[in-house]
Amino acid sequence: MARLLLIRHAPTPETGSKLTGRLPGVWLDEEGKAAAQRTASYLRGVNIKTVYTSPVERALETAQIVAQDRGLNPVEEPGVSEVDFGTWAGRSFGQLRRTKLWATVQSVPSQARFPEGESFLEAQHRAVEACNRIAARTGKGTVAVVSHSDVIKLVVSHYLGQPLDLFQRINISTASVTTLHLRQGTPPFIGVVNGTGEGL
């Protein structure tokens, strides 16, 4: 059975105040690097075969910190990239809360499509496909997959079998680890959600 450690990237100075999406040039600061290092530290005893990552810079940086003590080079996987928020990218959450689309995003996200971007349904489909590919490639063993809050929430929601409209009820903190177990022919299961300490 493949075990996927779904790791949300470490925080950036913009985390919580601005929807940076896929915008380039958003990097970890010293606090973010320290958070990523803490995640790497409590994963030190876990035998990780491969570290996959979203190509977005903050995820790639986090993946490099997780991989560096293992002699691994992160493998970019576009399927777990951040949601394409289109013209929402770069705007503050204060601005976005005043839009009509915000209510849809929060209450019926299955109906939300970001202007000039993608829908949550599309993001979920490509991220789940990526997880299935990674699991098939892994066979038995553990891999890390560094991604983003909404993407991890969408993946967890899918494998729990819950409607997409409930995915906002899941909390995924920066630098947290969620464990997904996948094997062909058997039901998937989630071991840990939003883990930020030992016991993975």
pLDDT at 200: 58
Tokens 């973010």 belong to residue: 32
Please write the tens of the pLDDT for every residue from 62-92. Answer: 999 999 989 999 999 999 999 999 999 999 9
pLDDT at 198: 60
Residue partners of 185: CB distance under 8 A and separation at least 6: none
> pTM here?
0.96
pLDDT for the residue numbered 19: 98
Domains and CATH numbers, the chain: 2-195 (3.40.50.1240)
Intervals of the chain under pLDDT 50? none
Least Cα distance to 6 among 177, 185, 182, 196 occurs for 177
